[in-house]
Chain A
Amino acid sequence: MTFRDLVAVSLGNLMRMKLRTFLTVSGVLIAIAAFVSMLSFGAGNQAYISKQFDELGLFNTMQVYPKAKNDSVAADGKALDNSAIERLSRLPGVNLAYPYDAFSVSAQMGDSTISAKAQALPTGAIKTKLFSQLQSGTPFSGDSTRQAMLTESFLKKIGVTDSDSIIGKTIIISMKISTIDSGFGYVLKGLREQGADLIEKIEFDSLLHANYRNRLIRSEANSVAKQFMNGFLNARETISDTLKVCGILQQKRMGRIKIESIIVPAKTALRFSTTGISGDPTQLFEAMNSGTLFAEPGDTDGRNFPEVTLDLDPRVPYKQIKDSVEAFGFKAFSFAEQFDEIRKMFIYFDMALAMIGLIALTTASLGIVNTMVMSILERKREIGVLKSLGADDNDIRFLFLVESGVIGSIGAVAGIFLGWLISRAASGVAQYYMTRQGLPTAELFALPPWLILIALAIGIVVSVLAGLYPATRAAHVDPVEALRGE
């Protein structure tokens, strides 16, 4: 008997027992559909995350932080300053290293003025995937052009919906800064006014007494410091810049990467980031800490940054780069590594989902066993006839294995289709809720070729295994007994 004959005979038998075949196939179908739709959810999520990572170039992005948490100066003294950035950018496999350099400004566009955060970026960084997802417009053309890029969230804040209409408009960003000069200015002014009184007040003889001297100096130092702070915080100078909006960045979920609402070319931003400290007291302390309080305008050498972003060459393994960064005394965070972790997690997730499908499949396979055993009892005489005509044990065994295999194949193919339908429906519902919640829609289901192949293979293998016992029983039917007339 050729394989083709076997299949033809099996199909004939299955067609004859339509209801029974339908019911048995349904068992397999439902199990495979469950298996497929659940794994499709796992695969879809994984694909979604992978796509997000890929779109943002996160596989080639590494974040570098100083070692001690929440502190720009590492415990062992390694700070993320310009020389550190310089060294990082020279590491093999690092295309670009740029700091997270943000400052608070008030931004004025047309009639609306809002306070926002701005970020300075070199043009090299603008070219990385992270910053090249533009909603409209173009990236700025140089490090010192008077251009700015805005994010969608900024547009939302000022109530603009059409991002194209913003391109070419001017934005004025300004910052009230306190300089060391204004602080000292007050001190000097105060000293001039109080100087005469003070001289009169001082009992010069008593200066010989240490106690008195100490008390006097203490009180004077306090009042000087008070005046310095007063000047520092109140007598602020406003610096501002008029920039042209050149591009609007798409809003993406970036995870731990911070993108501020206004992005300014690095050199253009120098004035803002170094000439002084804004009214934000935390910045004052940060500046004191990082040693930039007394920095010259435009001088960034002394500055420390809270984080530095590396753009990597995908051909160099991230582990190697991470090791080098850590050898410098910094902390490194690799998105590629995070993705590997996520993928590991997904393996367990998928296995859990697959288990549910497999349990259903076990039940379905019992259905197959039952159907096949019934079929053998009914077709005992037929088996006897086939044997008398020359069928050997293997022919009979194959005949029944093919039959259960066909049940499995039909069930698997239909199950994959049903699983796909279910995942489409579930995806539709998910999309609907995402839009209603105002979330960006995401495709959370996927049916990759490997899933189709695995489902098909599992369906067929399980049903053939289920057919093994009945088929062996059929092969051992005694023809004489089967053929004896009733």
Chain B
Amino acid sequence: MADDFWMKTNNLRRYYRRGQYEVKALDGVNLELRRGDFLGIVGASGSGKSTLLNLMAGLDTPTSGTVELEGRQLSTMSRQELARYRGHKVGIIFQSFNLISHYSALQNVETALYFNDTSRRERKEMALMVLEKLGLADRMTHRPADLSGGEQQRVAIARAIVKNPEILFADEPTGNLDNENTLQITKLLAELNQGGLTIVMVTHNLEMAREYAHSVVRMHYGRVVEGGERG
């Protein structure tokens, strides 16, 4: 039964110790994802949403508990295997974009293809295509600093999806977009999800999460307090 799930977290904890204080950023999270799921995560600031994404993306290691991918615990993987997992299967949209400031929009997107065995020529083609799809055809050569917040966000999205990942972790992907753009991006994500992409999306926009996600969970002080209901 449990083996049906593609990705699973078991009693996942991530504590930070700062001097005498201990921050329980995640305090026992159990989540289950099937291939092709679209999971929405809502919750107050500081409730541990970003921490959860980092753990599932294999960027961070839990204090205790496990993240399982196709039945295998990420903690049993070598650093190199984790890198391969990120390079080939995972797309991440960071809350704060994290674009490389001295690269053009195009180079930022291309960089995502350095690590999944894409040939040089294909790299450029794929990056151009995604940027065009996101309405950035005339912003290819711009540096992040020369782009608006919304444009930067779209470059970050382009970078996350250009490699056709198996799972997309999106940390407030529409946080800087106007309504029209928000709708467009959300529709794009839904479309990709229809194409088989598994998505875990953190958002403040509960309505939208309800509309597009298959399920929505709410987090509170490092725990999932509500949800799992399928929409």
Contact = CB atoms under 8 A, between A and B. Distances in A.
Contacts of B112: 389-390
B79 A381 contact: no
A198 B81 CA distance: 129
A479 B82 CA distance: 12
Contacts of B54: 480
A385 interface: yes
B114 A391 contact: yes
Contacts of B90: 390
A392 interface: yes
Interface in B47-106: 54, 57, 59-60, 79-80, 83-84, 86-88, 90, 92, 94-96, 98-100, 102
A382 interface: yes
A382 B100 CA distance: 6
B111 A485 contact: no
A390 B79 contact: no
A216 interface: no
A152 interface: no
Contacts of B98: 381, 384-385, 388, 483
B114 A387 contact: no
Contacts of B96: 483, 485
Interface residues of B, number: 27
Contacts of B94: 388, 483
B87 A389 contact: yes
A241 interface: no
A16 interface: yes
User: Interface of chain A, helix or strand or loop or mixed?
Assistant: helix
Given A16-B102, A393-B80, A387 B111 contact: no
Interface in A371-394: 381-382, 384-394
A5 interface: yes
B181 interface: no
Contacts of A480: 54, 59-60
Contacts of A388: 57, 59, 86, 92, 94, 98
A425 interface: no
Contacts of A16: 102
Contacts of B45: none
| A1, A384, A480, A485 pick with most chain B CB within 10 angstroms | A480
A306 B86 CA distance: 89
B101 to A, nearest CB: 8
A395 interface: yes
B83 A387 contact: yes
Interface of B: 54, 57, 59-60, 79-80, 83-84, 86-88, 90, 92, 94-96, 98-100, 102, 111-112, 114-116, 120, 159
11 contacts: A16-B102, A385-B111, A388-B92, A389-B87, A389-B115, A390-B84, A390-B86, A392-B80, A393-B79, A395-B115, A480-B54
Given A388-B59, A390-B114, A391-B115, 10 more contacts: A4-B120, A16-B102, A381-B100, A386-B114, A387-B83, A389-B111, A389-B114, A392-B79, A483-B59, A483-B94
A-B residue pairs, 5 tightest by C-beta: A390-B87, A390-B115, A485-B96, A392-B83, A390-B86
